[in-house]
């Protein structure tokens, strides 16, 4: 790790979590939830057509600490099979977008049916 990275992890990262952090629950696949602080981006919302109607998909990023013993809490080995609960909504960790020794940036998604078609509504002619 470079001197800059070490200094950033020691001084700037805790300050950023203090100012911009929000309380979330990180739940590893098959494990118990862990309360921690994350820096969350706003939701990006899109409507997608599906075979059964339309789906509302929310995507956002979360930056978390990788130090479980730190002030912001953390997860040493985040994985794409885990979930994050924030703002009353549970998001799947779609990918670990970026990771350093000190922090990880996660891509989160949440999908819900927006409109469901009736059975046999879209039949082949």
Residue 34 lies in a domain: yes
Q: Each residue of 40-82: pLDDT tens digit?
A: 999 999 998 888 788 899 999 999 999 999 899 999 999 999 9
Alpha-carbon distance of 64 to 21, in angstroms, equals 9
Within-domain flag for 100: yes
Q: Does 124 reside within a domain? A: no
| Structural domain boundaries, residue 49 | 3-116
CA distance 45 to 30: 28
**Distance, CA of 105 to CA of 45 (rounded, Å):** 19
pLDDT of 86-118, one tens digit each? 999 999 999 999 998 889 999 999 999 886 666
What CATH code is carried by the domain that includes residue 105? 2.40.10
* 121 in a structural domain: no
Alpha helices in 1-110 (DSSP H): 3-7, 13-20
Residue 106 near residue 71, CB atoms below 8 Å = no
Nearest to 82 by CA among 22, 38, 50: 38
The whole model's pTM is what?
Answer: 0.83
Number of domains into which the chain is organized: 1
Domain-embedded: residue 37: yes
Sign of CA dihedral 68, 64, 13, 4: positive
């Amino acid at each position: 790790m470079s001197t800059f990275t070490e200094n950033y992890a020691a001084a700037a990262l805790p300050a950023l979590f203090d100012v911009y952090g929000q309380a979330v629950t990180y739940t590893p696949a098959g494990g118990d939830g862990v309360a921690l602080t994350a820096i969350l981006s706003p939701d990006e919302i899109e409507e997608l057509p599906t075979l059964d109607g339309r789906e509302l998909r929310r995507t956002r990023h979360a930056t978390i600490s990788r130090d479980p013993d730190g002030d912001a809490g953390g997860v040493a080995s985040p994985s794409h099979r885990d979930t994050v609960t924030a703002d009353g909504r549970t998001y799947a960790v779609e990918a670990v977008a970026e990771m350093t020794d000190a922090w990880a940036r996660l891509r989160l998604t949440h999908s819900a049916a927006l409109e469901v078609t009736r059975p046999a509504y879209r039949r082949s002619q």
